[in-house]
Chain A
Amino acid sequence: MTDTIKQIRRLPRATVVEAQGEIDLRFQPEFQRAMLEVCAEKPPVLVVHLGEVSYMDSSGVGTLVKIAQTVRHYDGKLALVSPTPRVRSVFEITTLDRYFTILASEEEALAL
Chain B
Amino acid sequence: MKTEPHQEPIHLCVNSHAAALPKVREAVRGAARAAGFDEESVHHLILAIDEAMANVIKHGYEGRSDQPVEIELRCTREAQLVGLAVTIRDYGRQVHPDSIDGRPLNDVRPGGLGVHIIRTIMDRVTYCPAEGGGMRLEMVKFRKP
| A residues in contact (CB < 8 Å) with B | 22, 24-26, 55, 57-59, 61-63, 65-66, 69, 85-86, 89-90, 93-96, 99
Q: Are B105 and A25 in contact (CB under 8 A)?
A: no
Distance to closest chain B CB from A45 (angstroms): 21
Q: CA–CA, A88 to B78, complex, Å? A: 31
| B108-A99 in contact (CB<8A) | yes
List residues of chain B with CB within 8 A of the CB of A99: 108
**How many pairs of residues, A versus B, come closer than 8 Å at their CB atoms?**
58
For the complex of A and B, list the 9 residue pairs with the smallest distance between their C-beta atoms, beginning with the closest.
A62-B110, A58-B113, A25-B18, A26-B18, A66-B110, A65-B110, A25-B54, A95-B105, A86-B43
- Residues of chain B touching chain A, judged by Cβ–Cβ distance below 8 Å, are 18-19, 21-22, 25, 40, 43-44, 47, 50-51, 54, 57-58, 105, 108-111, 113-114, 116-117, 120-121
- Identify 14 new A-B residue pairs, CB closer than 8 A, beyond the known A25-B57, A58-B111, A58-B113: A22-B22, A24-B18, A25-B18, A25-B21, A26-B18, A57-B47, A57-B114, A59-B54, A61-B113, A65-B108, A65-B109, A86-B43, A93-B47, A93-B117
Cβ–Cβ < 8 Å partners of A59 in chain B: 54
